[in-house]
Each structure stands twice: as structure tokens, then as C-alpha cells.
Amino acid sequence: MGLLEDRVVLVNGGSQGVGAGIVRAAVREGASVVFTGRRAEVGEQLAADTGAHFVRADLSDPAQARDSVVHATDVYGRVDCLVNAAGLTSRGSLLDTTPELFDQHMAINLRAPFFAMQAAVADMTARKAPGTIVNIISNCAHGGPPHLAAYSAAKAGLAGLTRNAAHAHRWDRIRINGLNIGWTDTEGEDATQRAFHGAGDDWREKAAAAQPMGKLGQVDEIADFVVLLLSDRSGVVTGSVIDWDQIVFGGQD
């Protein structure tokens, strides 16, 4: 049996990148999966490839973030596991971030997970059923580079929310954890490197060579770790925000 056999898993931001990897891994491990995304063509193709159920949603709208849970319960009757994987990484420093960009980061990176969790936990507690939630955060929650000021603030907020919600609902047997992922090789990161940093076709090779492990974070490895946290194999772990990266925070040379 798979690690998520007979579980209903909702992956918000699941049409590409890390989210899509989690969709594939959850399906492989026996789950019934619903996932959201903004791009219908991409989402429908992933649904066709995996058998997962796609819902087009703009998670910057808190109503649509909440309704993602409603859609999942309409299809499968409940939500056992939630993954918040949607993320906005548009660049902006303290000095050049506009109020509009700041609000976009808060809407996608913090507000959407908040209201999706609200709806999922409401479903779980109404059924008096245990559940698991994993938030995809970022090592930027520790501070981040200057060009990701609003992003870092939002992800730090999500780390705090993860711990707060885990503490609040530990007696409901709802386990809530987060991953502070580092630099990861995704199609979105490729677009970001080209758009914001003038990267060429060899940027992956150059970036990998500069990392301690000789590679960037890999989507399938992150997805397998998320599946473990969603499953019973992660035991009683809750309220943990795990640094999934090759940077050792606090270490010094």
C-alpha cells in the first residue's frame, strides 16, 4: 500500500513546479488528489497525466482559497491532507517594493494559505477527524536576500502561522508542519532567473556547481518529503518548520 492510501489530498498551487511534483507523488502513493492552479491548460494536462482532479483558482482571492476546500469536498466528500504550495517570487527590495507588489506577496504567500487552512481545519474538526497540513515555506523566512523583502516577510509570517495553527489544533489530532525549501530547480525558477537576473541557458549548471551538494534542490525529492509529512509515517510530528536546504543557518566559516 502507498503512504497515502485512501487519503484525500488537496494541493493548492499544484499545476507546476514543486506543487505539481507533490501532486504526482501523492497520486503515486495512493491518494485521491485535487489540485488548484491559475493556468487551465497546464492544470488540465497534469490532470490528464495523473488522474488528479484540477480546479482553476486564483488564490489571491481569499474566497477562492477557501473554496478550494469546498471543491475537494464536493468531489471526494472530505479533505484529509492539505498542501499549500503556491508561491510568488517577484523581486523587490525594501526601497523599491511598491504597495501593490507587497500586497501581491501577502495575498499569495500568506493570506491564501491562511484561509485554505481555515477551511480545511473547519472540515476536519466538524468531522472530528485527524488530518495533516504541509506548508511550503522558504529559507527566506530566516531573512532572505535584499531583493526579496516582501517575499521574506510573507514567508516568515507563514512559518509563524504554521506553528500557531499546529499548537491550536494539536488536540484535534491535526498535524501542521512546514518546509523551508531552498533554491530549487523548477520551470518557474528558470523563468525568474532569465527575467530578473539575465541568466543564460547554462544557469543551472553554474548554480549547481556553486552548491555544497553539487546540485539545486530537486522537485521529486521535496515531493517525497512532503508525502512523508502528510502520512502516518511521520508519527506525531507537528509544529515543525524544517529547513530543507543545503545552507546551514547559523553556521559560520
Model pLDDT, residue 27: 98
Active site residues: 151
Q: Report the amino acid identity of residue 164.
A: N
Measured distance CA(182)–CA(30) in Å, rounded? 28
Cell digits of residue 121: 481545519
pTM of the model: 0.95
Answer yes or no: are the C-beta atoms of 116 and 66 closer than 8 Å: yes
Question: How many Å apart are CA 155 and CA 158, to the nearest integer?
Answer: 5
**Local confidence pLDDT in tens for the 253 residues of the chain:** 899 999 999 999 999 999 999 999 999 999 999 999 999 999 999 999 999 999 999 999 999 999 999 999 999 999 999 999 999 999 999 999 999 999 999 999 999 999 999 999 999 999 999 999 999 999 999 999 999 999 999 999 999 999 999 999 999 999 999 999 998 998 888 888 888 888 899 999 999 999 999 999 999 999 999 999 999 999 999 999 999 999 999 998 8
| Nearest-angstrom CA–CA distance, 42 and 116 | 22
- The per-residue pLDDT for 1 is 85
Closest to 150 (Cα-Cα) out of 189, 190, 98, 112: 98
The predicted pLDDT at position 195 comes to 85
Q: How many Cα atoms sit within 13 Å of 34 on the Cβ side?
A: 23
Query: Considering just the CA atoms, what is the radius of gyration of the chain in Å?
Result: 17
Grid cell digits, residue 71: 471543491
What string of DSSP letters covers 160-177? HHHHHHHHHTGGGTEEEE
pLDDT number for residue 196:
84
- Per-residue pLDDT reduced to its tens digit, 213-245: 999 999 999 999 999 999 999 999 999 999 999
Phi first, then psi, for residue 32 (nearest 5°) are -90, 120
